[in-house]
Amino acid sequence: MTEKLQQTLRDSAGARWAALILIALMMFFAYMFVDVMSPLQTLIESERGWTPNVFGTYAASEYILNVCGFLILAGIILDKMGVRFTGTLSASLMVVGAAIKYIAISDFFQDSALCTWLGSWWTAMPGSAKLACLGFMIFGCGCEMAGITVSRAIAKWFAGKEMALAMGLEMAIARLGVFAVLSLSPFLAAKFDQSVVAPIAFCTVLLLIGLINFIVFSVMDRKLDKQLGTGKEAGAEEDQFKFSDIKYIFGSKMFWLIALLCVLYYSAIFPFQRYATNFLESTLTIPADEAANIFRWFPILAMILTPVLGSFIDYKGKGASMLMYGALIMIICHLSYAFILPAYPAKWLAFVITVVLGVSFSLVPAALWPSVPKVIDGKILGSAYALIFWVQNIGLCFVPKIIGNVLNSTNPGVAEARNQAMAQGGAMPAYDYTVPMIIFASFGVAAFLLGIWLKAEDKRKGYGLELPNVKK
C-alpha cells in the first residue's frame, strides 16, 4: 500500500506520455512557423521585392536577440522560475512575434505610411522585411526559450525512464511540422491567389493553439510538483540555482565540446533549410512547389529514426559514436548536393540525397540532447541547455546572412536579372549553389573532428556518453 501511495503522475505511463504530446505539439507548431517562408523565397521576391541578401537577413533575424544575450537570460529564468512560467512566457512571445510578422507581410501594410517610412531610412531592405525581421526576432526568442524549456521538462518527467526516447519523439513530432509546412505553405499560397499572407496567418493561429496546449501541460506539472512534496517547482534552498553557478558550465570542457559540435552541425542544417527549396528549384530547373515537395521529405527518416535511436541509446548506449556518424553522413550529403546533383540533375537523386540527410538529422539530435544531463549538474541544467542554444544561435544568426552574401557574390547580376524576368514574365535565371554547399560541408568536417574528440574525452573521464540511460 505504501508503495502505491508513493506513485506520482510521472510514474503513470499514460500521464507522462500525454504531457510529452502536449509540449511536443507546441514545438510542432513552432517548427511550422520557422519554415513557413522557406518554400516561398521566389514568391516573396516577386510580391515584396526581397533579394537573397534580404531573405538571408530575414532568416538570420530569428536568432539576433538570442545571440545578444536573451538565451542566457532565458536559461536563468528557467532555472529560477521553473518550467511552467518559462514555457508560458515562451509560447506567448512566439504568438506576439508571429502576429507582428503577419502584419509586416500583409497586403494592407504595404501601402501604409509606416511601411514607407521603414523603407526610407535603410534602403537596403524594404519596409515589409524590416518589420518581418522584428517579428521573427521576437518569435525566435520565444522559440529558443521553448526549446530549452521542453528539454528541461522532459528531463524532469522522464528522469530514470525513457528520456532519450521521449526527447527523440518530441524532436520527431516537431520535425513533422517541417514536413507539413513545406507542402502546406505553397498550397495555401496558391489557394489564395499566390499570396504569402495566408500561410503565415494559418501558422500564427496554430501557435495560439500551442500556447493553450502548454497551459494544459502546466496544470499537470503543478500536480506533479505537489505529489513530489512541493507546491512550487523549486526544491530545497541549498539546491537552488545561483548566477555564480554558470562559471561551472563555462569551465567544463565537455560543455564546450558539445556546444561547438552543436553549433557546427546545426549551422549546416537549419540555414540550409531556408535555401533548400530555391537550391532544388535552381539546380533541377523545376517550379518552387515541386522543389518544396522534394525537400519536405528531409525530416521524414529523421522523424521515424530519432525515437528508435533514442530508445537504442536508452537501452544500449553509443551516444558519442552516433554524433560522429551523423556528422559524416551530413558531409557526404552536402558534397553530393554540391557536385553530384548538378552533374546529374534528376529528381530521384535529389530525393535520395535529401532523405539520407534526414538520417544524419536523426543520429545527432538523438544522441546530443540526452548527453547534456550526464555532464552537467541538474540544478543548472536549464542554464546549460540555454548556453548551448546560445552558442548554436550565434552560428544560426550569421550563417544564413553569410550564405545570402556568398550566393549574391558568386552569382553576379542574377538577382537583378530575376527581378527583371519577373517584371516581364520571362524565364528566371537560376542561382549556382556550389560554394554555399561546400561551406555547409565544411561545417560537417569540423563537427566530425569534434565528435572524435568528444568520444575520446568520454572514454578518458567516464562520463557515460556511450552507456545506456535506463538504470537497471
Nearest to 433 by CA among 410, 456, 465: 410
Task: Tell me the per-residue pLDDT of 343-400, one tens digit each, with 9 for 90 and over.
Answer: 999 999 999 999 999 889 888 877 887 788 788 777 777 678 778 888 888 888 889 8
- The C-alpha atoms of residue 255 and residue 388 are separated, in whole angstroms, by 8
Q: Identify which has the larger pLDDT, 347 or 245.
A: 347
Confidence of residue 266 (pLDDT cuts 50, 70, 90): very high
400 or 244, which is more confident: 400
Answer yes or no: is pLDDT of 200 > 70. yes
Predicted confidence at residue 123, as pLDDT, reads: 64
Domain boundaries, the chain: 18-226+249-461
Where does 18-226+249-461 sit in CATH, by number? 1.20.1250.20
Instruction: Dihedral sign for Cα 139, 142, 143, 144, please.
Output: positive
**What residues contact residue 449 under an 8 Å CB cut-off, 6+ apart?**
none
Cα–Cα distances (Å) from 245 to 1, 68, 147, 252, 454, in that order, read 41, 21, 21, 12, 23
Q: What is the pLDDT of residue 423?
A: 65
pLDDT over threshold 60, residue 288: yes
Burial of 430 (0-12, 13-18, 19+ CB in 10 A): middle
Q: Which three cell numbers stand for residue 194?
A: 499566390
Is the overall model pTM greater than 0.85, yes or no?
no
CA angle 302, 273, 298 (to 5 degrees): 30
pLDDT of 238 = 40
Q: What pLDDT digit, counting tens, does each position of 324-340 carry?
A: 999 999 999 999 999 99
Work out the percent of the chain whose per-residue pLDDT is above 70. 92
Nearest CA to 38 out of 265, 288, 266 is that of: 288
Instruction: Kindly report the average pLDDT of the chain as a whole number.
Output: 85
Neighbours of 432 (CB within 10 A): 16
pLDDT per residue over 21-73, tens digit each?
Answer: 999 999 999 999 998 988 888 788 777 778 778 888 888 888 888 888 888 88
